[in-house]
A and B are shown apart, each in its own frame.
Chain A
Amino acid sequence: MAKLRITDACTGCSACVKACPYDGIEVVEALARFNEKCNWCGTCREACPFEAIVEEQEPAAAGPAVDLAAYRDVWVFGEQRAGQLASVVFELVGEGRKLADARSQDLVVVVLGSGMEEACNALLADYPVDRVIYVEGGELETFEAEAYGKVFSSLVRERKPETVLAGATSAGRSFLSRVAVEVRTGLTADCTGLDVDDSGQLVQTRPAFGGNIMAQILCPNYRPQMSTVRPHVMKPPAAGSGKGGTLEKVVPDAANLASRAKILEFIAEVEDTINIAEADIIVSGGRGLGGPENFKLVEDLARALGGAVGSSRAAVDAGWKAYSHQVGQTGKTVCPKLYIACGISGAVQHLVGMQSSDVIVAINRDPDAPIFKIATYGIVGDLKEVVPMLTSKILARKGH
């Protein structure tokens, strides 16, 4: 959105005031005017029934800051942990392939690490990637934001990709924001939708305000266009879709490998249950359980289904379940085939973390609980009766 101007067509109807997400426009003496909270987001322009809000002409200097045509190809950051490519990389290969095809460009996966040649070749053999750029160095074996940022930035400056995608993981978010500043371009966080518009620009869709609203974001005058993408939203392509892409090994500049932060140790989390972010079936419990002792009902159902145990924030805050199980805005985003919510009322913060599940089943005593508005199926009833009965019926079917 450019800066905006209010024309004589304004009648002071205050449709804009109601539409503004920032409280940034007000009506004074029957005319609208922007105040200091205005963020130039342009929502008011869409809302004005009289088309009285128009874009200011951007000054000539505000045209492209770089030669846009000098940039081409779609890059995916090949995030690896302990030599294994993260699952989000495959999801981004699927999405990146579509974007690259729409632009008639190459899809390139950029891997930073050590001893990764075999994994890179396996990726090329099985997935529709045109090229892998593999930057090899012992210092890159484990992710560290400063070194990764410098190595990746220098590669971007030299090769000029048009689009760069990374998973919105702790690593992707920590280092791509450094790259965006180093190369002076835009970065859109945690995207859930990507598309190419008629002019060839990347349209990045992301949730904001805790998932209550969606925003579409462009990067018109700078390149590359960069996004971190929420894991478990995009679908990975089928294995066996390789197209004989090539591997290029790059030796990083030693100066870029120096990092001031030192990793002293890594302590793997001991999980006694399936990691909820990867699970196909999740059974979650919330405040409606009434106490930690009733989490056993949820755990029994999860076990009967071969699924993982999730939790609402309320149950985590109450100390009934560890934070690693928390689903929602401040916990994990999950996208299982089946999500069963037991005693979870369905606060937006919880819903944003699980609403892309294929099938949602809600069990709640309150027929007006918001969770029923998004659940594929619901049971109104006392979960202390319903959940154990469901568990025993499932076990009975499995012949136990």
Chain B
Amino acid sequence: MRIAVCIKQVPDTTEVRMDPEKGTLVREGVESIVNPFDTYALEEGVRLKEAHGGEVVAVTMGPPQAEAALRECVSVGADEVVLVSDRAFAGSDTWATSYTLAAALKQVGFDLIICGKQAIDGDTAQVGPGMAVHLDLPQATYVRKVREVTAERLVVERLLEEGVEVMELPLPAMITVVKEINEPRLPSLKGKMRARKAEIRTITAGELDLPAGDLGLDGSPTRVMKIFAPAPREGGEVFEGEPEETTGKILSVLEKEGLV
């Protein structure tokens, strides 16, 4: 089975914050990482390959720097890596991203596409299902377990708000996974060496042969008009001292607010 895993290089959002006075983004020391949710997707792909044979192709769309993220994927088990990169893709929203990635995936070839449930920078969860439509595939989102795999079909468990849904899909298909699905492995020394030497296939806009008007900013229906710092929530009264006293104070304010 040929398994394509879509990954994204993202800034470590734990480190990104706004300077509330200047309204600018504080980016110093922020590292780029593989989107954490995608590491579960990759691990699942590698596990399926190890159990059933085949190969895992990690695919990302991004600037040339995203190569580093692809090398990380090789270090934990990806057999091939593909960088979909072109200045023409800049400014893509989820429509244009899913359109471009779908076209690249057609060239790469796949029986199954696995994505993380969402990326931690944009948090949209829209690119996976979007690709499924562009590629005319059935989908299962929020997969927490792959129960069965054959050459023709897949049985998965989906983690929903009120329980777990068991779903059967014919292949080819697209699934997105949640972190309950597995525990991603750490790179081995051999894996790290393989990563250093790995050959990265690059797919550019010219190779995809898509109308320019459907790519990047021009192909994106949505426009970011403004980025700003969220209104800070003000800290309130803090009580220090003996628990007997502080709990009494807290209780009386909560009572005043009608909460107890």
Contact = CB atoms under 8 A, between A and B. Distances in A.
Query: At the interface, is chain B mostly helix, strand, loop or mixed?
Result: mixed
A40 B92 CA distance: 9
Contacts of A62: 213, 218
Nearest to B154: A261
A263 B240 contact: no
A361 B163 contact: no
A312 interface: no
Interface of A is mostly: mixed
A319 interface: no
A307 B82 CA distance: 49
B129 A178 contact: yes
Contacts of A36: 63-64, 85, 87, 90
B260 interface: yes
B166 interface: yes
A199 to B, nearest CB: 12
Interface size of B as a range: 35 or more
B3 interface: no
B105 to A, nearest CB: 14
B95 A372 contact: no
A377 B16 contact: no
A265 B165 contact: yes
A385 interface: yes
Contacts of B155: 264
B223 A218 contact: yes
Contacts of B237: 376-378
Contact of B14 (A19, A264, A348, A378): A348
Interface stretch (A121-129, A186-194, A247-255): A186-194
B225 A393 contact: no
A378 B129 contact: no
A210 B14 contact: yes
Interface string A163-185: 00000011101110110111011
Interface in A1-53: 1-3, 18-21, 23, 36-43, 46-47
Interface string A374-393: 11111111100110011001
B98 interface: yes
Interface string B210-245: 000100011011111111111011111111110110
B138 interface: yes
Contact of B168 (A177, A262, A267): A262
A215 interface: yes
Contact of B122 (A208, A355, A379): A208
A210 B123 contact: yes
A260 B138 contact: yes
Contacts of B124: 177, 189-190
A68 to B, nearest CB: 12
Given A39-B91, A210-B13, 9 more contacts: A20-B27, A21-B16, A42-B225, A43-B227, A177-B129, A281-B259, A330-B179, A349-B14, A386-B243
9 contacts: A170-B142, A181-B130, A212-B13, A213-B18, A261-B138, A261-B140, A330-B179, A360-B233, A378-B238
Interface of B: 11, 13-14, 16-18, 24-25, 27, 63-65, 85, 87, 90-91, 93-95, 98-99, 120-130, 132-134, 138-142, 155, 158, 160-170, 173, 179-180, 213, 217-218, 220-230, 232-241, 243-244, 246-248, 250-251, 253-255, 257, 259-260
